[in-house]
Structure 1
Amino acid sequence: MRRLPVYFLLDTSGSMHGEPIQALNNALSTMINTLRTDAQALDSLWLSIITFDREVKEIVPLTELPSFQLPEITCPQSGPTHTGKALEVLQAKVKDEVKKGSETQKGDWKPLLFLFTDGKPSDLQLYREMIPQIKALNFGAIVCCAAGHLADDSLLKELTNDVVHLDTADNATLKQFFKWVSETIEQGNKSQGTGENVTLPPPPSEITVVI
């Protein structure tokens, strides 16, 4: 069975401490449960979660959906947001994990990337250096989400055209965002084999698409 690898890069810097990180845990848990009700996702979906603050951690390596177990995600009370370093780790993982097609075997479907942040990169130079390298990996979709007034939409637009903004990182808003993410993943599953990139479903009212 060909896999659909989906990578999550999640900001766990100090500004996420408290209610936002709790809301993120709840929303991710709901999303995983939703995806498990989709037979096609159970067959093909593989998920990876990488968090970034002052450190970058792969908290769940690329794992098939039926075996996926979501740990409690935590964050420090303060500290920088190393988004560039996170992209560097992601690049190495994708190159190592996503199977390319050959004459003898079909490779994986184009991977999907969802990046969530409530701030801006502390390592801006590395972030900008990594952008062309991430774009060269041929993702089926790269979706960035900026949450709250400290997140910088314009920097995310340098990475992808698909940027959305949330006013807050509270429970209700994050649940709506990750519900939309699960719909996007399901859409990605259905469009595999066409060779096209994934068309994003219309977002709910809590999500502003950044033009």
Structure 2
Amino acid sequence: MFPVFLVIDVSYSMAGEPIEAVNAALPDLKAAIEDDPTVGELARVAVIAFADTATVVLPLSDLQYAGLPLLEPGGATNFAEAFRAAREEIERAIRGLGRGSRFYRPVLFFMSDGMHVADEDWRGPLRQLTSPDWPFAPEVVAFGFGAAEAEALGTIATRYAFKANGADPAAQAREIISTLVRSIRTTSGSLRPDGDGGLVVDVDRSKFTPLPLMEVRE
């Protein structure tokens, strides 16, 4: 089983065309899982929406049998809430598989169009999420657009960080979701029962700028 966690910013800056673009593109993920037996067999997907609070709008599920949520815009942007909710859902979902269940390392795709504006420092919850001492720590791929800061994205990511090119937020959001769909499909196809294979992020380099990874500062 390949567990995938989509952590999506739904703060007020996402209202209108950006969140509409995300909602319109998410069904492509369900179609990819339904149409490709390899993806359908391996991939399980959860969706966590965050603004000033974070909500698991879709627990880890087989999208062949689960409906997709309709995301709605909320308040201000709080990364700390997103990371706490993600850690709790990963823990719940993986432990819920039962003793002896086999799974590949979780992958978390983080998507935001803005900056953390809450008073709480988000780096503490991020360290807990990505700690090598936690057996379920995910690989994190961060995608940003709009007002998202390169330094924050590079700090959040453990493997890859990207900032979408262009000036149309709806087009950027749509391209990020399309990239997630391709990456989940390609990664699922690369995984082998012996543990070989691994995360593949299928990015159109003409539409994204790769960002350097940063250490999580105290």
Q: Same fold (TM over 0.5)?
A: yes
* Partners of 1:39 and 1:101 in 2: CA distance: 21
Which structure 2 residues correspond to residues 2-13 of structure 1 after superposition, within 5 A? 3-13=1-11
Match of 2:176 in 1: 177
> Is the alpha carbon distance of 1:25 and 1:133 closer, same or farther for their aligned partners in structure 2, counting shifts above 3 Å?
same
* 1:8 positional shift: 0.7
Aligned residues: 204
* 1:128 positional shift: 0.4
Could you tell me the percent identity over the aligned residues?
20
Using the size of structure 1 for normalisation, the TM-score is: 0.85
Using the size of structure 2 for normalisation, the TM-score is: 0.83
* Partners of 1:152 and 1:207 in 2: CA distance: 14
Deviations 1:139-191 (A, max 9, x none): 2x31111111x111201211224111113464443333222212211232233
* 1:99 positional shift: 4.3
Q: What is the CA RMSD across the aligned residues, in angstroms?
A: 2.4
Which structure 2 residues correspond to residues 100-115 of structure 1 after superposition, within 5 A? 105-115=100-110
Question: Does 2:80 align with 1:84?
Answer: yes
Which structure 2 residues correspond to residues 144-163 of structure 1 after superposition, within 5 A? 144-148=142-146, 150-160=147-157, 161-163=159-161
* 1:138 positional shift: 3.1
* 1:20 positional shift: 0.8
Question: Does 2:94 align with 1:94?
Answer: no
User: What code does the residue aligned with 1:133 have?
Assistant: Q
> Is the alpha carbon distance of 1:169 and 1:85 closer, same or farther for their aligned partners in structure 2, counting shifts above 3 Å?
farther
* Partners of 1:10 and 1:112 in 2: CA distance: 14
* 1:94 positional shift: 0.9
Task: Decide whether the 8 Å contact of 1:188 with 1:198 is kept in 2.
Answer: yes
* 1:122 positional shift: 2.1
**Bigger Cα displacement from structure 2, 107-116 vs 27-36:** 27-36
Match of 1:118 in 2: 113
* Partners of 2:170 and 2:13 in 1: CA distance: 16
Q: Unpaired runs of 5+ in structure 1?
A: none
Which structure 2 residues correspond to residues 7-46 of structure 1 after superposition, within 5 A? 7-46=5-44
Match of 2:63 in 1: 65
Q: What SS does structure 2 have at the residue aligned with 1:158?
A: helix
Deviations 1:77-100 (A, max 9, x none): xx3111111101111111121149
* Partners of 1:113 and 1:169 in 2: CA distance: 25
Question: Does 2:210 align with 1:209?
Answer: yes
> Is the alpha carbon distance of 1:124 and 1:188 closer, same or farther for their aligned partners in structure 2, counting shifts above 3 Å?
farther
